[in-house]
Amino acid sequence: MDVVSPELNSLLPDEIMDTEAIEEVPHSQSEPTHDTSVPMETDAPVTSESLNTCSNATPAERVQAATAAAAADSAPGSQSSITISASSTLFAMKPALATSTATTKTTDSLTGTTVSTSGTQKLATPFAFSAANHQIILNKVASAQATEAAKAAAAPAQVIKQEGQKLLVTTIGKSGQPIVLQLPHTSGKPGVSQTSGDAKSPSPQFKVVTIGGRELKPVVGSAGNQVTTLQAQQLKTVQIPKKTPASSTAPIKFIITKTVNSKGLSPQTSVTPVIAGRVVTQTSPVMSPKTITLSEPHNTTIQSISGKKIAISPLKTPSKVTVVSVASPPSNTSQKSVALPVNVALGQQILAVQQSAPASPVKVATSQTPAQNIKPVQSVAVGGVGGSQFKTIIPLATQPNVQQIQVPGSRFHYVRLVTATTASAAGQPSAPNTSSVATGKPLVVNTGAVRMSVPVVQAQTIKQVAPKPLTSAPQVVTTTQTQQRLIMPATPLPQIQPNFTNLPPGTVLTSAPGGSNVGYAVVPAQYVTQLQPSQFVTLASSSSFPASSSVQTQAKLPYNGVSAAETTSRPRKPCNCTKSQCLKLYCDCFANGEFCNNCNCNNCFNNLEHETERLKAIKTCLDRNPEAFKPKIGKGKEGESDRRHSKGCNCKRSGCLKNYCECYEAKIMCSSICKCIGCKNFEESPERKTLMHLADAAEVRVQQQTAAKTKLSSQISDLLMRTTPIISSGGGRLPYTFVTKEVLEATCECLLEQAKRAEQTRQPQAEAERAILEEFGHCLMSIISSAGKAKTDCASINC
């Protein structure tokens, strides 16, 4: 999930750039033309040739794989893939469509659908489609043989329209039917991709379109001087929804995603599955574009929300959340690509992230970027189920612009956000700047260089979980990570200030209200609770997560050896800051990257109202110590025993056996890096052992007490639950309520009488006790019986 401008690439640390590494998703990069499962995202560096079996592409050439995802009804295995490959360009279109899909409306024309990526000269390269089985391969038309072969392979070859500089793909239809794409040779040399941006050469356009009879949303891109932007692209993913009858469960949107590969120049192809929706991502300009994939997410767990907020559950989220640029400022300035690795296609919503880097040398060919199928989403919440975290983007009154891409040393990365307000939901009347697939308006894809990194997960362990189908409108994606990062729409970012927006962990993106272009600020998820509910809609409150409907838990990173789950379950202690305004590391809230909430602090600035000051303070802290917001307790290699304080303590008088000592507080022993005096916090320390034993004993007691209280509460609750219906239904009473004074006296008399009897008969004591107990049992039975009878009578009377 990185969309980073070239400028940013130099600024961003490796952590941000290396988002791909965190994916656990296997990279299915090999031979996209034959592989039925085409990766949604491919982060193929220059070595793209290996991917393209049909291409003799030069290193500079790019391969684009387009994958058309099938509709929701599509069954795996029956998916038909369409691969368009040119010598320099490869389109892999893999619809997750069922075979029936192929039979549907193959004749649909791509009218009005123009797909062109800025700087995608390669797209202009003539192509020939060859269909085999469920795969349709597009070969370059440059060679006559290829064209002929393609035609021959395709029985009812589709019409190839060549309109000047436009390439029209009329239909991609029935399985087994070849589809031919033909582009006029813009270059004198057939077979040579137009990699370089030739200002003089007319910018080729091509229309792609419908797969399965569905009309695709046109994407218009122009090559030209801005060819350089194409080179930056690594992957483009275009999803072409199948136009299916009512069978399709969810409205299909056409999303073109261009994957931005994270790191660097290392030739890697990462697969970023689009979970929901269709997203188009563009790779960063640094990387050469390799593939364009038209795909439709498999099981889309995400559902579009007409509301403003989308909750993404960290437990279930795909590895990445990608936001696609929506708004397109009609500026002449070079715009940067909106490409984001889209892990989360929000059903019908697409979050658009767009950045403009005027200073950037890279120019994007496309002029305007109408919003595409993007629903105006103002906030995105990443919610965790069961103590996971929520990150919510909420309207921000101040700080309209969050420009930071990454926080050095911080656990959070920040991105400049793009306005989502201009985006329009699919099927809905699009705003002036927006174009929906249905409208067939051209979609401009900026192959720009902007690269934004928004790892949804922390560290490098992004575990992708199978999307959970949601019945409710809200779309939730959960991930297992404790940390999540979101890219939020924002206004075009003129400048990137990496350090200014550095925010500590536990923050969420918020958007500034008002204006079409809304900026977003990073805000701790916790803070969301401080906002009025009316300000945003939380997906977490959907039926999918009833438990967390009203409360959003704050995500925390492991701190002091305490797991995120533990910290989450346990409310943070409120601070009592009086002089620091909670903007210094003295404040635990601030140090933990959290907003103060329910604290006892005075003159607190650690809140959204003072976001400016807060950001400034964060910057100051980071300037002073880039590691300021990192956990002090490093995680051990193989266990807690290896955990140790990153800096070590400096205790002098506490013997490191009090909570003054950060090591002791973290329940770890002091290490060699500690500078403590008179340390007793070591393995063999008898004082330490004693304290630990005492602490353990105390803890056990607390646990027992807690358990007892819990049990008692449970019993009381259960009792109340059972009594309530009785009381409410006819004024019945519990049996024990019949134990009145008279009943007690009678019972005692019975017991005494039994005792006297035993005494008179000179029975042994044991026998006497037994007889008395039996008599007591009889009394109880009588009481209960009477109570039940009375209740029955009462009920009958009431009836």
Q: Which residues bind DNA (CB under 7 A)?
A: 573, 575-580, 582, 584-588, 591, 620-621, 624-625, 628, 632, 647, 649-656, 658-662, 665
**What's the min distance (Å) between Cβ of 358 and DNA?**
34
H or E element, residue 691: helix 686-728
CA dihedral 158, 159, 164, 165 (to 10 degrees): -10
Give 152 or 698: the residue with its C-beta nearer to DNA: 698
Give 625 or 786: the residue with its C-beta nearer to DNA: 625
**What's the min distance (Å) between Cβ of 483 and DNA?**
20
**What's the min distance (Å) between Cβ of 504 and DNA?**
12
Q: Please state whether 224 falls in left (phi above 0), alpha (psi between -120 and 50) or beta.
A: left
**What's the min distance (Å) between Cβ of 502 and DNA?**
14
Which residue matches tokens 């969309």?
Answer: 3
- Per the structure block, which two tokens stand in for 719? 């009792």
Give 2 or 588: the residue with its C-beta nearer to DNA: 588
**What's the min distance (Å) between Cβ of 283 and DNA?**
39
State the chain's maximal CA–CA distance in angstroms.
Answer: 126
DSSP string, 190-241: TT----S--SSSPPPEEE--EETTBPPPPEE---STTHHHHHH--EEEEE--
Give 170 or 580: the residue with its C-beta nearer to DNA: 580
Instruction: Find out whether 106 and 213 touch, Cβ atoms under 8 Å.
Output: yes
**What's the min distance (Å) between Cβ of 660 and DNA?**
4
Give 443 or 557: the residue with its C-beta nearer to DNA: 557
**What's the min distance (Å) between Cβ of 416 and DNA?**
26
* Rounded Cα gap, residues 147 and 149, in angstroms: 5
In terms of DSSP bridges, do strands 235-239 and 166-169 run parallel, antiparallel, or are they unpaired? Answer: unpaired
In terms of DSSP bridges, do strands 210-211 and 171-172 run parallel, antiparallel, or are they unpaired? Answer: parallel
Q: Whose CA is closest to 446, among 308, 337, 329, 334?
A: 337
**What's the min distance (Å) between Cβ of 510 and DNA?**
24
Give 117 or 685: the residue with its C-beta nearer to DNA: 685
Give 586 or 682: the residue with its C-beta nearer to DNA: 586
Could you report how far apart the first and last alpha carbons of the chain are, in Å?
67
Helix (H, G, I), strand (E, B) or coil at 47: helix
Long-range contact pairs involving 584-590 (C-beta distance under 8 Å, separation at least 24):
584/617, 584/621, 585/621, 585/628, 590/504, 590/614, 590/617
Instruction: Find out whether 297 and 70 touch, Cβ atoms under 8 Å.
Output: no
**What's the min distance (Å) between Cβ of 706 and DNA?**
20
- Per the structure block, which two tokens stand in for 722? 């059972």
Q: Please report which residue ranges of 541-685 form alpha helices under DSSP H.
A: 564-569, 588-591, 611-624, 662-665
What number of helices (H) and strands (E) belong to the chain?
13, 27
* Rounded Cα gap, residues 286 and 221, in angstroms: 18
**What's the min distance (Å) between Cβ of 556 and DNA?**
16
Give 576 or 792: the residue with its C-beta nearer to DNA: 576
Give 409 or 730: the residue with its C-beta nearer to DNA: 409
Give 463 or 584: the residue with its C-beta nearer to DNA: 584
Helix (H, G, I), strand (E, B) or coil at 439: coil
